[in-house]
Amino acid sequence: MVDSRLFYAVTLLISIGIVMSYSLAAYITSLYAYSSFHFFTRQLIAACIGIILMWLLSRVDVDVYFKRIGLAIFIISIILMVGMHFLPQSFISSAGGAKRWIRLSFISLAPSELFKIGFIYFLAWSFSRKFVSNVNLSIKDEIRIFIPYLVLFIVAVVLIAVLQNDLGQVVLLALTLGVMLLFAGGSLRLLGVIFLGTLSTALIAIITSPHRILRIKSWWASAQDSVLALMPQELAESLRISGLPEPYQLYHATNAISSGGFFGSGLGEGFIKLGFLSDVHTDIILAGITEELGFVGLFAIVLLFGYVLLRLFRIANRVPSKMHYLFCVGVALLLGFSLIINAFGISGITPVKGIAVPFLSYGGSSLIANCIAIGLVLAISKNIQEEKE
């Protein structure tokens, strides 16, 4: 039987996101003279498409169609990410000068969102053949086996971090890749080597980009007091940065979280959306939710999200196929890390990375891609071995 609890939990998260896309987009709809239901309607359409796809995919025979669907997503997403740079400008939407969306008549498609699902499928398929079936490999053999995955990751870095100027998505993929490798049977030694390589690459990407250096400095300027208080005074003063204002997004996001209190100001009554952060319904949605629904509302959403992750890991733990097991784990890691990176960013623990909150943030591409992933997991859940009484 399909795991109906997972389906309904995800649908409830999507419904909350639709409501908040209406409440938190009040200022921007007025600013651009949109209908008050502009973002609500678009998110509702994307939600309907996503839920229908999730339901349809839950009914497929994974033994026959899972590999075909996963491979199709992987190949098509790469073709779209490469091909959109050759499309006319009228078909492309940009952010910060980087091409990230293919503009269609009713929706803007972000190929990188689809690529993340294809990336998870490829890792699950390949890890189940390369690592799960092998034990007691030397570090040299593990590195040799890992080289093709490194090449794929470098391709992802070029397509996403370089061409789309989106380092946050690469960080998300790197975290998912590393932890999936452990679940597949890779050693901690190999993970350490990967971590050092990824850290070196990230440092190079940061120091060669002035806007990323400024972002890191701005974040450190706002977070340094709590960290430097634990260090000796001379060392603390040498690391202190002065003269930089607190990042604009972080300043207003933390103010919104603080003003929300325990029960919040009430649905539709928040102030952060009134020109302070006009796009709060996208990547900063957790701050908007906390202001309007308070700690209670945020805690309920986190619990619901945790329940979704629990169902994903439960399905993974009970399926007989190693490939299906790794895919379920990969989807759970992708969703979980997305939530953590976003939450850490808006609370000032880490720099803001522009990672959407799955199922909640406004954006059709992310919503539909995540629904496709959940739909495949639901199809896999039909193969769960029944527990003996």
Is residue 97's pLDDT more than 70? Answer: no
DSSP state letter for 89 = G
- Are 99 and 309 a contacting pair, CB within 8 Å? no
Average pLDDT over residues 236-245: 67
DSSP state letter for 103 = E
pLDDT digits (tens, 9 = 90+) for 319-366: 988 999 999 999 999 999 999 999 988 887 777 777 889 999 998 889
Is residue 241's pLDDT more than 80? Answer: no
Average pLDDT over residues 49-70: 93
Is residue 9's pLDDT more than 90? Answer: yes
Cα separation values, 95 from 5, 145, 353, 354, Å: 37, 37, 14, 11
Average pLDDT over residues 134-161: 78
- Are 294 and 264 a contacting pair, CB within 8 Å? yes
Residue that wins the pLDDT comparison between 16 and 29: 16
pTM of the model: 0.86
pLDDT digits (tens, 9 = 90+) for 177-206: 888 988 888 777 878 877 787 777 777 777
What was the pLDDT predicted at 388? 35
The mean of the pLDDT values for the chain is: 83
Q: Give CA–CA dist 389/387, Å, rounded.
A: 6
Strand partners, 98: 95
pLDDT digits (tens, 9 = 90+) for 269-284: 888 777 777 678 888 8
How many helices and strands, by DSSP H and E, does the chain display?
A: 14, 3
Letter string b/e over residues 245-275, b meaning 16 or more CB atoms within 10 A of that residue's CB: eebebbebbbbbbeebeeebbeeeebebbee
What was the pLDDT predicted at 389? 33
Tokens of 71: 């491979």
pLDDT digits (tens, 9 = 90+) for 109-145: 888 899 999 999 999 998 888 766 555 667 777 788 7
**N-terminal to C-terminal alpha carbon distance within the chain:** 17
